[in-house]
Structure 1
Amino acid sequence: MYVIVKPYDADWARRYEEESARIRAIFADELIDIHHIGSTSVPGLSAKPIIDMMPVVRDISRIDAYDAEMTALGYECMGEFGMRGRRYYRKGGDHRTHQVHVFQADNLEDTSRHLAVRDYLRSHPKDAQQYGKLKTSLADQFPTSIETYSDGKDAFVKELEHKALDWYKTAEL
């Protein structure tokens, strides 16, 4: 998989809306809410053009029952995929277009982390710009190594998550 980081594209919001409507129809009454997360959810932020979505559901143990419907929609069902309490789906193979990270509503550690980072970056454009520059630089240096790209962001992302969670606890959103 090539690492491609592109300047922000306002079409990402439309792509989220269209796909989230399909996800809502599948998870139906199990779904409490669905959020656009990740870099494509932050206006002005450069990102890999992959739409990340976070459905929040009543009972995570019931989500596997929807795998056939998610597969019919073009998703690969990955189970927890290294994160206990999550169900992960990806679409597009080596040319990934969407990722779905499903969490149960009472999993506040993971849901809050994703929302805190998104909202922090939306509210702190200088940090978002710095993050975008880092991602662009790493993608230019390591276009064929997602692992090296991810490793290069690791320290920045950990610090970003820490700042975002501290901010999120006191922010009035």
Structure 2
Amino acid sequence: MQLKTRPATEDDAEQLAILNQQFNGGNRRPVAEVVDSMRTCNEIIAVAEIDGQVVGFGCAQSYRSFCYEELLGEITELYVEPTARRKGVATALINCLEEMLITRGVTEIKVLTGRRNDRAIRMYERFNYVRDDERTRTAKDSAGKRCTYQVSESPMRRLLNIAFATVTGRNSGKVRYR
């Protein structure tokens, strides 16, 4: 098995549309819309391949806010086909997205995930993301207590924001955020 991550290209648009439909449900986005989005948005899109077949994707954004001096980043989407899970694909995608964000000058990355998405929370915590209460207005842990954790010692600040979420799809674990 050969695992490779790389920035997505327009040639990946059809497979991205398929994977996005698996991830988010609903109608498949037309390939032309995916290509247009890739051309016009500032979004970072990484894909993971196993033996040349795209099996997952991740998306991230970098942005400035007048509230903070530094450039901020956010991992906004991460999906791996069920048959490719537990093979290091998500880890490779996170590494790829972080590298691409750092290249843009980002010094702080945050992730928003559902409070019941234990698998994702554990994965991000393995990457030294820490739960951060400051930027999560309504986040509470499983006991209903607000999350208050210290920021890691690493030079890259990684924040894991836990949000209330509604599960969508049939036992899919996919979430829509409120």
Higher helix share: 1
Answer yes or no: same fold by TM over 0.5.
no
Higher strand share: 2
Instruction: Give the TM-score normalised by structure 2.
Output: 0.28
Instruction: Give the TM-score normalised by structure 1.
Output: 0.28
